[in-house]
A = this chain, B = another copy of it.
Amino acid sequence: MADHNNRYETIVRKLRDHGHKLTPQRLAIVKILAKSEGHPSVENIYDQIKIDFPTMSLATVYRNILLIKSIGEVLELGFPDGSNRYDGNRPYPHPHVICIKCKKIVDPELDSLDDMREEVAAETGFKILNHRLDFFGICSSCGANKG
């Protein structure tokens, strides 16, 4: 998809503009982040890259994700159980719907959140900088395959 190529180019350019070197490992990680629809995990990224780079280290994945986060080009979805999922396509806060069975993560369309932000700011006196909204449930495929 054209969007994914754009994302790849955008992130690579931003890395270069910030003076970071473009190693093959780094580019492989960027490529996966840019082209994934499915909010991959660190392990997921690591496994995909090990096919082409058998010596790839998990530490390198962690370090590069940290770097790409620092330039604002990936959204980290950390969960309290310690799992992490990454969105390289929409690196800004947006709601997620998570299937608790198959762990699929979907981006719903919701536009009432901006109103809510203002409502919360007005009510609490906080200056709101960020937010996180997750819905947990059962997706239609998992709901159909009842055990």
List residues of A whose CB falls within 8 A of some B CB. 76, 78-82, 84, 95, 97, 99-100, 106, 108-110, 112, 115-117, 119-121, 123-140, 143
Which residues in B have their C-beta under 8 angstroms from that of A128? Answer: 97, 135-137
Q: A80-B80, A106-B124, A125-B140 are in contact. Are A117 and B135 (CB under 8 A)?
A: yes
CB-contact partner of A116 in B99, B112, B124, under 8 A: B112
A104 CB to nearest B CB, Å:
9
Complex CA gap A125/B97 in Å reads 10
Q: Are B108 and A120 in contact (CB under 8 A)?
A: yes
Q: Are B120 and A130 in contact (CB under 8 A)?
A: no
Most chain B CB within 10 A, of A100, A129, A135, A140, is at A135
Most chain B CB within 10 A, of A80, A84, A128, is at A80
Complex CA gap A115/B110 in Å reads 11
CB-contact partner of A130 in B76, B106, B109, B135, under 8 A: B135
Complex CA gap A127/B142 in Å reads 10
Q: Supply 17 A–B pairs (Cβ within 8 Å), ascending by A.
A: A78-B79, A80-B84, A95-B120, A97-B124, A97-B128, A99-B126, A106-B124, A110-B116, A110-B120, A112-B119, A126-B138, A127-B137, A127-B143, A129-B137, A130-B137, A131-B133, A132-B133
A114 CB to nearest B CB, Å:
12
Complex CA gap A97/B78 in Å reads 18
